[in-house]
A and B are shown apart, each in its own frame.
Chain A
């Protein structure tokens, strides 16, 4: 048996995005792998034949990330021509290739003068393309102009005057027709015949949140508004039948925008909406956290027998279906993370993480791929559940991972891990970093405090309460873990978290001294600066802190960890990415400087060219560096007689 180390990252095969062929005979999917030499992920198309149960590798170029089936049974995928890379800033083109599953190399099919983000092939051969467009007047690249809020977007970079538009592409004539206006920002779309149902927000200056819903006729090239923007919060949409759409939408609630959405039908003639089925969980969103998945996510699909969607219930995500009568049933029940799926004539293929395995494909519940056989040789420590009820009678679910090679009676250091969101969940699925810590001799424990996903609106409500009930849950959970696992050395506890988990880590180190080491990643230190710099600043702050700066700066300051910096005693490492526009590096820098000034041992690792997704889809070398920094920090502070391994190259050369 082999320990799970940082270095296994390049061994992981990330399986993703299965899709049935039009005849249901084959399932195509993508497998990606970290390539350290190129510091990138190489992705290729694979094919599973449902009859022969054989797997065939279709492409070898390593540049495939997403694809669709054409009616003819070929596979169309978007890729960059060799010699180009997505770092080229002038790259405004999209290139599409087609490969025949019965043999032959891929050939370029067409290219488009837009940056496609998704594509769909209609019955009649036309394509619906979602693509980024840039409405900025041409100028030299020496500077940026920001005259919109937000002016940047995590993962997309500077987005001032940039929009996502929908286009209809007719391959025969080569015409590319925009569905929307220049100022539109389109999100979800659904196609039926020659009609496109889509959501869009038309804006300039300041973007607010609630999209409008529109119906576009490809033949008349006209759009009709079914729901005006800024009226109502909606989520995923789909055609329900010829006259109705299915819309996930919120109704007025004491919980405001924290309320989960219900299912509505919308009349396509006048936009009137009718409640079809109430629901109190996420719709078309799996939020199970892990750093061991990579690939496109398709969280919903419209089928003959209803609308299939991924939902997070409890600590797991699973596939559900709502049928025409509004009945909601579980289409696939299995504890794990259901990340992507497809359905065909009653058959279901799922890509997900189950038990201790990495992402693999499951057809009707039976595992059909085994790209990560190597995991069988890994020494994985299975998370053990630990639950309790908090003072408000909410059940808090948590887990404890014992150190690999655990020997009862010996004392071990432990790491508390806090997820982001906060509306996501941790579960028992494979998590590379947590297993790596266990292999390094740590107990690892984590829970889903109030504010997490999967527990309904009342449980998930945390507006204006950050740092109170959630903090209490996490501290109570820590007490329970220590009581249940006496082999944890309570004087050697560490805490790690990212995003909301980074906020909570900052909060924790300022409110208790029980942790002797902390790693705060992509964190939040100051809600006032966050509101004004994050790509989601003014909306997220309003919904989670119950106030904006202009309304109540003192409220925001009260919930800001920086306010309590003088109480901090915990040595803390900050990890931040320079292009994180969700939690901008200003947050980490403020907290780091405060600790520094207060004489607390601290260090900041600032990773260039990465964003908020560093731990999940950052470039391989950056991810490995990040893991090494965190482990070194923990080892230095939580292990007796641990060698001073915290030295990176800079430090080594400096001493």
Chain B
């Protein structure tokens, strides 16, 4: 058996976006693979019978990154076969292919950078895309003058940039109707409305969407809109004074399920609602204190998958509970039943009538497609794209344990033993902290952790207060950043050291990204028990984090309980930079220069302070990457990132 290595990234096959054909006879899905030579990801469209047989590659040229079934024989997929020239208007090409044979043919070119596409019946499609708030009345700048958007940017709004989307001033996510036969495009949403989620009714006749209509500051709460048919006007069902509407799904033509998360407190879970369209009545469904969707973190996921879908009278949804994802089904009155409850993470749902398929990370492996028996919940594995890899590589299995914490909660933790572990050995150990903080670690395959274990490190991690999967009270650490969560992590570290005497307490490392980067920066200012730290896309100073990041003025403000000018001591006191002058832990900072979630200013500040202590510190700044570097960054940069991370721990924890 081979040990897991950083370059194994190029061997992984990431499976995503499984979908049944309308007749349920076939399943189409995507396979993605990181390519070393071209430093990109290649995506392929694959087809199989609904029982997993007759597997074959449908299309790969031009990166089939998304698709939809047009009918039982035809799939429409996005493809970049014809290069869009620089300076041309943005456009997205779609090709159609018959599953019965023959090559793909060009189907349509939509003059937008399409983010999502859904069929609107006949030759029409609903399209989601980011565009200027109002379409340009094209007065191009005179020759030889500075060009907006290229030579300079103007900010008049908050947020002015957004992670993964770049500069967002006066840019909105809008919905369009595209008629492929007439090649006409019609904007459905208001000029300044920014769409967050949307859904099309089963008969394609209705479209619902949530979003915010703003001209200055995007509010935290959103409104719900409904549009009947392609030509009907939109009407607002719920205004934007209540909650943030995250999830939408039609339950037939007349009922619309949606979730609304209150935004008064940090970490609040969504409330579930059912809107009856004909009677204009809202039913509040029971509160389950759990958000929809898989929140179990992994750096080995790529591509999407449905988190919520309606079929045969039931609404299927993913719930994250502790460190696992469950598949639940809800009836019209809001009663839930558990369909699948297994260890691991479900990354997407596909439904046809009563037939259920999921993409899931099982048995400490990458995601594959499984067919689910809807009564017993038993799974039949349909794809095994990574069989050879896992047959030849030594994967360390996370050992899970629980304990009752001083905080009164039962807590869970996971420990990866080092590859080649001997009970009488002595090993360094790495505490890894997830982002969020409202996210969760589970027992699923995590490349970075497996690489560390392969290099001889123990890796241990937990879900401290602030994490997801345990209800909103558990997730609320507002105004207690660095106390509740820090105490949990230190207590957990003590628990691990108690249970694993092979971990050398003199050789402990710590690392994390985003919120985990905040916590890493915090920890090194509070204790010297860690001899090495890797702080990624981190937060060091909430005075500035609140003021210059995309979600600073909403999410981080709520976490801090004050703007800097309202209560300096409170905000500064929860900022790691306040304690940076006493940091003795050698620290590596990993940062992307287009990360507008945790902007580089914070990492630079911490670097400056730590460095001036005479403490070893290094910052690696990746060009053109954002907050998603570890998950979907360019392959070479992901390799560099892992190399830097492991070398740093090796250097200071005396390996090699």
Contact = CB atoms under 8 A, between A and B. Distances in A.
Q: Do A and B come from one complex?
A: yes
Interface of A: 36-37, 39, 140-149, 151, 205-206, 526, 528-529, 531-533, 537-538, 549-550, 553-554, 557, 562-566, 584, 586, 589-590, 592-594, 596-597, 602-609, 621-622, 624-625, 648-655
28 contacts: A36-B145, A37-B144, A145-B620, A146-B604, A147-B617, A526-B544, A529-B541, A532-B604, A537-B608, A553-B572, A589-B548, A590-B544, A593-B553, A594-B565, A596-B216, A604-B155, A608-B151, A608-B153, A621-B151, A625-B152, A649-B148, A649-B149, A650-B170, A651-B154, A653-B132, A654-B132, A654-B133, A654-B170
Classify the interface of chain A: helix, strand, loop or mixed.
helix
A4 to B, nearest CB: 19
> What 6 pairs across the A-B complex have the smallest Cβ distances?
A550-B581, A532-B605, A653-B136, A604-B155, A649-B148, A625-B146
Contacts of A37: 144
Nearest to B170: A654
B543 interface: yes
Contacts of B618: 145-147
Tell which of A526, A538, A649 has the most Cβ of chain B within 10 Å. Answer: A649
Contact of A597 (B563, B608, B624): B563
Contacts of B617: 147
B565 A563 contact: yes
A621 B619 contact: no
B611 interface: yes
Given A145-B618, A603-B155, A649-B148, A529 B544 contact: yes
A142 B564 contact: no
B611 A621 contact: no
Contacts of B155: 592, 603-606
A549 B544 contact: no
Interface in B588-640: 599, 601, 604-609, 611-612, 614, 617-624, 634, 636-637, 640
Interface string B130-170: 00111011111100111111111111111010000000011
A549 B577 contact: yes
Interface residues of B, number: 69
Contacts of B150: 608
Interface in B487-518: none
Given A604-B155, A625-B151, A654-B170, A586 B620 contact: no
Nearest to A606: B153
A625 B622 CA distance: 30
Interface string B10-42: 000000000000000000000000000000000
A607 B151 contact: yes
A142 B612 contact: no
A569 B609 CA distance: 34
Contacts of A537: 608
Given A604-B156, A621-B146, 19 more contacts: A143-B620, A143-B622, A144-B620, A145-B621, A147-B611, A151-B619, A532-B577, A553-B572, A566-B566, A589-B548, A590-B543, A590-B544, A593-B548, A606-B152, A608-B151, A648-B148, A653-B134, A653-B137, A653-B139
B134 to A, nearest CB: 6
A528 B543 contact: yes
B442 interface: no
Contacts of B563: 594, 597
Contacts of A653: 132, 134, 136-139, 148
Contacts of B568: 554, 557, 563
Nearest to A565: B565
A529 B601 contact: yes
Given A140-B636, A652-B139, A625 B565 contact: no
Nearest to A591: B547
Contacts of B564: 562-563
Given A538-B612, A593-B548, A653-B138, A603 B153 contact: no
Nearest to B612: A206
B521 to A, nearest CB: 13
Contact of B622 (A142, A602, A604, A652): A142
A649 B152 CA distance: 10
A562 B565 contact: yes
B180 interface: no
B627 to A, nearest CB: 16
B152 A607 contact: yes
B159 to A, nearest CB: 9
A607 B147 CA distance: 10
B91 interface: no
Given A37-B144, A532-B604, A608-B151, A593 B158 contact: yes
Interface string B557-577: 000000111101000100001
A309 B144 CA distance: 40
B211 interface: no
Contact of B547 (A142, A531, A590): A590
B604 A533 contact: yes
B552 A532 contact: no
Tell which of A37, A39, A589, A592 has the most Cβ of chain B within 10 Å. Answer: A589
A653 to B, nearest CB: 4
Contacts of B620: 143-146
A145 B605 contact: no
A190 B157 CA distance: 53
B608 A625 contact: no
Contacts of B547: 562, 589-590, 593-594
A205 B614 contact: yes
Nearest to A566: B565
Contacts of B553: 593, 597
A563 B565 CA distance: 5
B57 interface: no
Contacts of B70: none
B277 interface: no
A157 to B, nearest CB: 12
Given A206-B612, A553-B572, A596-B216, A586 B548 contact: yes
Tell which of A526, A532, A550, A590 has the most Cβ of chain B within 10 Å. Answer: A532
A586 B601 contact: yes
B187 to A, nearest CB: 14
A103 B325 CA distance: 82
A649 B138 CA distance: 9
A446 B464 CA distance: 57
B8 to A, nearest CB: 20
Tell which of A145, A593, A596, A607 has the most Cβ of chain B within 10 Å. Answer: A593
Contacts of A144: 620-621, 623
A529 B565 contact: no
B621 A146 contact: yes
A533 B169 contact: no
Nearest to A537: B608
Contact of B154 (A533, A589, A594, A650): A650
B578 interface: yes
A549 B154 contact: no
A603 B156 contact: yes
B399 to A, nearest CB: 35
A655 B170 CA distance: 9
B284 interface: no
A554 B573 CA distance: 12
Given A146-B621, A149-B607, A621-B146, A593 B552 contact: yes
A125 to B, nearest CB: 44
A518 B599 CA distance: 27
A608 B133 CA distance: 22
Contacts of A549: 577, 581, 609
B380 interface: no
Nearest to A649: B148
A146 B607 contact: yes
A654 B217 contact: no
B608 A624 contact: no
A498 B476 CA distance: 42
A529 B540 CA distance: 10
Contacts of B145: 36, 621, 624-625
B38 to A, nearest CB: 14
Given A589-B548, A608-B153, A149 B158 contact: no
